[in-house]
């Protein structure tokens, strides 16, 4: 019996994560930064390690393994590089900067400046180079003893998966365990793994300002004749009470604190979830891991939100399209709507007097800053 247990454990261990051994590798950080970086394990060690648990799923939405991944916070890495706007876009603050992460296979996921720097959980997103497979406790103790339950680094974890461990998985036939290649980008706040990237190759920071359709000058607010939602194909949809009628009401109260002026008192907001609004307005599925929502106020104030933080977060409706504050509806002439991000610690991305909401889709193979290239258009 002991021999049989050892044979079973050996078959699982032989399949434990993940691909042929890799050469030493780094992750490039470039774009709107003060200093370009090549991220390696030594840098992650120097920034202080932390870990995040994540359940990974296949593109077909089948469970493919649970891992605890170790690395450094994306925020800490970007603090070393320094986020710097290199183009004068009429708005000095970095709230409309976004990050495009690209893997060695060309897969992409986008993240907003705010969810990296302004979130209530500043360490939610990791760059990881070590992982530990989370093994259910119902495995037989003798078989379990054969497993190395520590964190495996880049060379050690480049082995096959654990498809033989069928008792770990539900369903008639388990898929192969998820592939972890090289560095990983781990969005620990997402309820699913749509934005998780293995084989992370590049982090490119971009300014969304040049993509904005609405303009304005800070301190010179104008009358808001209406709020427009611009879809990725350029279609313009008027945001009106008729469009949002019947959507579930979302309420939120918080002690507001801004990076500039500090505490601003406690306020409550009522409206509808932005995810529900987009679903109704689009009428078609959209790959939210590669989508941005750029909000522009009547005075030119801007903030960008990633599709992932809108659609994949564990809170549900994290971004409120609010039409009332402290029980009082906003004056339509001053702007019928205000965006309220529930996951932020700081209130700075709460855009008042919203004039335009623009959906931007960052295609795989395109310019990471939203401008398509001829080469990308003709690529197979």
For the chain, domain boundaries: 2-207, 216-361
pLDDT of residue 288: 87
pLDDT of residue 118: 93
C-beta separation of 322 from 337 below 8 A? yes
Domains 2-207 and 216-361 belong to one CATH topology: yes
CATH number attached to the domain at 2-207: 3.90.420
As a whole number of angstroms, the distance between CA 302 and CA 298 comes to: 10
pLDDT of residue 195: 94
Which H or E run contains 31? Answer: strand 27-31
Q: What is the phi/psi pair of residue 301, to 5°?
A: -65, 140
DSSP 208: S
pLDDT of residue 61: 78
DSSP 49: -
User: Which residue, 101, 151, 112, 85, is CA-closest to 305?
Assistant: 112
pLDDT of residue 324: 94
Beta strands in the chain (DSSP E): 27-31, 37-39, 50-57, 63-73, 97-103, 108-112, 125-133, 184-187, 197-198, 200-207, 227-230, 236-239, 249-258, 262-273, 291-297, 302-306, 319-325, 328-329, 338-341, 354-361
Per-position pLDDT tens, the chain of length 380? 443 333 333 333 333 333 333 445 899 999 999 999 999 999 999 999 999 999 888 777 778 778 899 999 999 999 999 999 998 888 999 999 999 999 999 999 999 999 999 998 888 999 999 988 777 766 655 544 445 557 777 766 555 445 445 555 555 565 555 567 899 999 998 988 999 999 999 999 999 988 776 666 555 556 677 899 999 889 999 998 899 999 999 999 999 998 888 898 999 999 999 999 998 998 776 788 999 999 999 989 999 999 999 988 877 889 999 999 999 998 877 788 999 999 899 999 999 999 999 999 988 888 888 764 433 333 32
Q: Which CATH class is domain 216-361?
A: alpha beta
pLDDT of residue 364: 85
Q: What is the phi/psi pair of residue 374, to 5°?
A: -55, -35
pLDDT of residue 191: 86
Put residue 262 in one of left, alpha, beta given phi > 0 → left and psi -120 to 50 → alpha: left
The token pair that represents 262 in the structure block: 């500090």
């Amino acid at each position: 019996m002991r021999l049989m247990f050892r044979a079973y454990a050996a078959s699982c261990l032989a399949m434990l994560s993940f691909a042929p051994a890799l050469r030493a590798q780094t992750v490039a950080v470039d774009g709107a930064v003060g200093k370009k970086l090549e991220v390696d394990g030594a840098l992650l060690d120097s920034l202080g390690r932390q870990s995040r648990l994540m359940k990974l799923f296949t593109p077909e939405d089948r469970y493919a393994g649970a891992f605890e991944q170790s690395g450094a916070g994306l925020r800490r890495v970007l603090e070393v590089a320094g986020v710097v706007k290199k183009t004068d876009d009429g708005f000095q603050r970095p709230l409309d900067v976004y990050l495009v992460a690209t893997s060695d296979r060309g897969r992409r996921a986008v993240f907003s400046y705010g969810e990296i720097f302004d979130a209530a959980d500043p360490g939610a997103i990791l760059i990881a180079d070590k992982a530990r497979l989370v093994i259910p406790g119902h495995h037989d103790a003798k078989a379990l003893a054969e497993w190395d339950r520590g964190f495996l680094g880049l060379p050690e974890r480049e082995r096959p998966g654990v498809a033989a461990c069928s008792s770990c998985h539900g369903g008639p036939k388990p898929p192969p365990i998820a592939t972890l290649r090289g560095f990983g980008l781990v969005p620990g706040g997402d309820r699913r793994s749509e934005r998780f990237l293995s084989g992370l190759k590049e982090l490119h920071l971009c300014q969304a300002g040049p993509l904005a359709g609405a303009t304005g000058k800070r301190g010179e607010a104008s009358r808001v004749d209406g709020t427009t939602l611009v879809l990725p194909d350029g279609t313009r949809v008027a945001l009106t009470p008729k469009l949002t009628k019947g959507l579930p009401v979302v309420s939120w109260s918080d002690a507001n604190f801004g990076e500039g002026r500090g505490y601003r008192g406690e306020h409550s907001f009522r409206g509808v979830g932005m995810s529900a609004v987009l679903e109704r307005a689009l009428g078609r599925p959209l790959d939210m891991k590669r989508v941005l929502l750029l909000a522009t106020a009547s005075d030119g104030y801007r903030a960008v939100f990633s599709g992932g933080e809108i659609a994949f977060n564990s809170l549900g409706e994290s971004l409120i399209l609010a039409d009332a504050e402290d029980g009082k509806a906003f004056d339509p002439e001053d702007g019928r709507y205000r965006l309220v991000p529930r996951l932020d610690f700081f209130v700075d991305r709460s855009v008042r007097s919203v004039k335009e909401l623009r959906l931007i889709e960052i295609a795989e193979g395109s310019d990471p800053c939203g401008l398509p290239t001829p080469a990308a258009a003709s690529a197979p």
